[in-house]
Amino acid sequence: MFRPTVRDRFMIAHSFRGEVFGPAQELHGATYVTELELARPQLDDDGLVVDIGIAHRILAQALATMNYKNLDEIEVFEGQNTTTEFLAAHIWRLLAARIDEGVLGRGLTSMKITLKESDVAWASYEGSLG
């Protein structure tokens, strides 16, 4: 299985509901280093899984919907704790829709989104495509 990865980052503010979150119940910020990993069992006729320039562009477009924003004020997140895990799945769904449109060609079998909050803490969401 071939698995190229591209990386970008985005900065957000948000707060959580629930005592389990302790001080994170207050408004705070995070900068996420975000990795998009795409998988395909065989290379295409050009020797690629995807064009990494296009992959980076669609990742940046998805992240731009949240970058420098307070997630508590974005309607799609209303009533939701925007945890790292939740955001990884949200970004996965945004990109899966673009892949379904054919933006990255055909033949991709899975995608993994990893959000790194720091050098010691991160979460991923991975799912099958097609």
Looking up residue 20, the CATH number of its domain turns out to be 3.30.479.10
Instruction: Provide the pLDDT for residue 75.
Output: 97
Work out the pLDDT band at 31, boundaries 50, 70, 90: very high
Instruction: Provide the pLDDT for residue 105.
Output: 83
Single-letter residue type at 111: M
The domain of 52 spans 5-128
User: For the chain, what is the mean pLDDT?
Assistant: 97
- CA 9 – CA 30 distance, rounded (Å): 10
For residue 12 the two structure tokens come to 């957000």
C-beta atoms surrounding 112 within 10 Å: 17
CB 66 within 8 A of CB 18: no
pTM: 0.95
For residue 113 the two structure tokens come to 């989104």
By C-alpha distance, which of 51, 28, 29, 49 is closest to 40?
49
What's the domain count of the chain? Answer: 1
Given CA atoms 96, 100, 102, 107 in this order, what sign does their dihedral have?
positive
pLDDT, tens digit (0-9, with 9 covering 90-100), for 58-116: 999 999 999 999 999 999 999 999 999 999 999 999 999 999 999 998 899 999 999 99
- CA 37 – CA 103 distance, rounded (Å): 15
